[in-house]
Amino acid sequence: MKNNSKIWWAFSISIGIAAVLALALVVLFWHQSIQQNRPILQEIFARYGHTILVIGLALIAWFGFMFARVFRNAIIPMNQLSEEVDLIHSVNPAHRIQLEGAYGLTQLVEKINTGAEQYEKLEKSVFDRVHIAKAELEEEKNILAAIMAELPEAVLVCNKEGMIILYNSQAKRYFSEKNTTLKTGRQPDIAKDATVESQGKAHLGIGRSIFGIIGENIIRHALGEIRTKLKRNEENVTSTFVVTDRANKLLRAEAAPILNPQREFSGFIVVFNDITQGLRLEARAEFLVRSFQEKIRHSVASIKSAIEIIQVYPDIEPSRQHQLKEIIHAESRSLEQLIQRESKEAFKQTRNQWPLVPLSIPDLFDALQKKADERLGIKLAVEPCTGRCWVKIDTYAMILILLFMLERVCAETGIRRYVCRYAENEDIVFLDFSWEGSPLKIEKLRQWETMQLNFMKEGMPLHLKEVLDHHNAEIWSYADQQREKKSCLRIYLPAFRPQEQDSVRHAAILPASRPEFYDFDLFHQPGQSPDLDNRLLKDLAYTVFDTETTGLNPAGGDAIVSIGALRIINTHILTEESFDQMVNPQREIPLSATKIHGISDAMVQSQPIIDVVLPAFFKYTEGTIIVAHNAAFDMRMLQTYENRTGIKFVNPVLDTLLLSAIVHSAQEDQTLSSIAGRLGVSVVDRHTAMGDAMMTAKIFIRMIPLLEKKGIRTLGEARA
């Protein structure tokens, strides 16, 4: 009940009580008076009755007024004081009480604020000590998570119920939804796209089930195999199987158990490797071998037949004998060409297995310049060139090759200063190292190619030619016709286009850049099968969302122009798993609405329509509790599209506006900004869907301990 209602009720009750008491006194006095005195009393009432009535009403009014004043200046502020003290002790130690009331109450508020300052300092001191104590453990956890994120293999870690508690960037690449429509903003075939979106696989995310990404039967079979091996105490307790990702690439999956200190099964880890290319290479190699065998068998049979005829019939006609010799010669040539061709093809297949990474030539020269100066005392002057040519190389091996060559050129010429430049001609990149003097002899280069690639204490167990061949590179030396008395050592490399780059992993693993793709507390998370209403609020998964619209009248045709959402798992906000999408409302956005949320007609013109966005958002909210501020409005907006899209949101819903009315019942202002101020949440990007969703998420997390103090711990109690 609102405070104003309380005051009016108290005022009315006080007047009623005073009136009843006054009437009771009059009746009592009348009955106790002597019979002879009653005429006198009647005369007094007749003459002064109006005056008595006015005085009585004045007394009743004064009494009611004083009662209301006491209620307003003492009782209501005391209720507010209780709530604000809870705020200081529970969620916002920096909050300070500002109340107007009786003198003693304001004095009490000053004392509480003084105590709050000391409490905040003490809490900060304790927090700092705890933070220092946890720093090393947190750093190790962050480094572990970062390493997991940067592994070339995809990794999923799940608890024993199959709930995902960690995944890395490669797993996100394999299993995350690739929503082309949302990214490009194309105008889709509504019926087709809506069907595809609604029937696709589940989202990858913390707290979601692995069964929505990989077939449940496969995982159950793997876990059964692992448990059987554990019971038998076998050394290899892994299970291997093959699955496909969202792009239908074949992935080799290996599942291994996670055991607690008591060797009880507490979860499992699945590592994925892309075997698509490997299988293609194997199939190609098998085809080459079969083809090679058939062609050799055919040529050998022809040669054998021709030789046998010559041996059996030595006196055969010269023309016929010449014809047979031509057959032998032709088949021999055919065999030679076949062997050369297939050898090159086989070499290409093996070369594809050599790990090569994209690198720009300026970066290669920069690294080479430093190493040549430090290791050999050779000075390299790099000529400025336009553009940044790219090659795909083993950077260590290529720098080793260049140092190896420079060392020998220096030994041959005695020159320690060279000019470096590069150029690109169609699909070939030239690296030139020039000096004053005669060029190297080709025989010398070929001799170097047969030498093992060693430089000082570094080297590789391969010849220079082998490493060059793996890079599809060649070396040459010539006299520079454009520069008098200049010679050049040139290296040819295949050009690489930057847009062809594979996904590159981050080089640095820093605690500050740790991924947010994990929540280790989910190892202890109960399964999703128990009734949600009996689950603790702090243990549930939530989708906190907000919408921006063309107006405030869903029934009158107003439409959604933006949806922003975040997920909360174990009271942690997963910022890496956000949903932020503008929507083309297919109607004009009023200027009054644009002034509030800043979204104009031009901004949404190329954006997807609600028929495409809503199915994606529906999948995003699967298996979670929906949270919003003034949820009735946002859910009503979603409800208006039910007939159009066939999508109905049946998730349980919590409203921070209603929850705030429970934990802050004495507060008049329940707007999002006011609640944020009370709970110490920064107001950022107000009136944007993602900004308001983030603010609502932080508010909701800070409300949970306040709700617990009110005896509201489970979802069922919060919805009651």
Residue burial 127-151, b: 16+ Cβ < 10 Å; e: rest: eeeeeeeeeeeeeeebeebbebbbe
- Higher per-residue pLDDT: 185 or 675: 675
3-state class percentages of the chain: helix first, strand second, coil last, to nearest 5? 55, 20, 25
Angle (CA) 155-160-166 rounded to 5° is 30
Instruction: Choose from 36-45, 221-230, 338-347 the range with maximum mean pLDDT.
Output: 221-230
Tokens standing for 205? 């995310």
**Which CATH number belongs to the domain containing residue 424 in this structure?**
3.30.565.10
Q: Which of 49-53, 340-344, 434-438, 595-599 comes out lowest in average pLDDT? A: 340-344
Instruction: Kindly state whether residues 457 and 576 are assigned to the same domain.
Output: no
Compute the average pLDDT of residues 286-306: 76
- Higher per-residue pLDDT: 358 or 116: 358
Is 226 inside a domain boundary? yes
Compute the average pLDDT of residues 284-294: 72
Taking 60 as the threshold, does the pLDDT of residue 183 lie above it? no
Tell me the percentage of the chain whose pLDDT exceeds 90.
Answer: 28
pLDDT of amino acid 540 = 92
pLDDT of amino acid 369 = 93
pLDDT of amino acid 346 = 59
pLDDT of amino acid 550 = 94
Q: Which domain holds residue 591?
A: 530-719
Is 332 inside a domain boundary? yes
Is 616 inside a domain boundary? yes
Instruction: Kindly state whether residues 270 and 288 are assigned to the same domain.
Output: no
Instruction: Kindly state whether residues 366 and 327 are assigned to the same domain.
Output: no
Taking 70 as the threshold, does the pLDDT of residue 138 lie above it? no
Tokens standing for 516? 């947010």
Tens-digit pLDDT profile for residues 261-287: 777 888 999 999 888 877 777 777 677
Taking 50 as the threshold, does the pLDDT of residue 500 lie above it? no
Provide the domain count of the chain: 5
- Higher per-residue pLDDT: 203 or 1: 203
Taking 90 as the threshold, does the pLDDT of residue 515 lie above it? no
Instruction: Kindly state whether residues 340 and 361 are assigned to the same domain.
Output: no
Residue found under tokens 């004081």 = 81
Which of residues 274, 304, 336 is at a domain's end? 274
Taking 60 as the threshold, does the pLDDT of residue 535 lie above it? yes
Tens-digit pLDDT profile for residues 61-102: 777 677 667 666 666 666 666 677 766 666 666 676 666 655
Instruction: Kindly state whether residues 384 and 467 are assigned to the same domain.
Output: yes
Instruction: Kindly state whether residues 290 and 436 are assigned to the same domain.
Output: no
Is 107 inside a domain boundary? yes
Mean pLDDT value across the chain: 79
Is 140 inside a domain boundary? no
Taking 50 as the threshold, does the pLDDT of residue 509 lie above it? no
**Which CATH number belongs to the domain containing residue 235 in this structure?**
3.30.450.20
Instruction: Kindly state whether residues 559 and 706 are assigned to the same domain.
Output: yes
Is 83 inside a domain boundary? yes
Instruction: Kindly state whether residues 635 and 689 are assigned to the same domain.
Output: yes
pLDDT of amino acid 230 = 86
- Higher per-residue pLDDT: 167 or 7: 167
**Which CATH number belongs to the domain containing residue 643 in this structure?**
3.30.420.10
**DSSP-derived secondary structure for 262-292:** T--EEEEEEEEEE-HHHHHHHHHHHHHHHHH
pLDDT of amino acid 503 = 46
pLDDT of amino acid 506 = 41
Instruction: Kindly state whether residues 269 and 288 are assigned to the same domain.
Output: no
Which of residues 135, 163, 180 is at a domain's end? 135
Which of residues 323, 351, 379 is at a domain's end? 351
What confidence tier does 642 reach under pLDDT thresholds 50, 70, 90? very high
Is 523 inside a domain boundary? no
pLDDT of amino acid 529 = 41
Instruction: Kindly state whether residues 568 and 691 are assigned to the same domain.
Output: yes
As a three-state string, the secondary structure of 121-175 is HHHHHHHHHHHHHHHHHHHHHHHHHHHHHHCCCEEEEEECCCEEEEECHHHHHHH
Instruction: Kindly state whether residues 123 and 265 are assigned to the same domain.
Output: no
Instruction: Kindly state whether residues 292 and 341 are assigned to the same domain.
Output: yes
Contacts of 95 (CB under 8 A, 6+ apart): 84, 87, 88, 116, 678, 680
Is 104 inside a domain boundary? yes
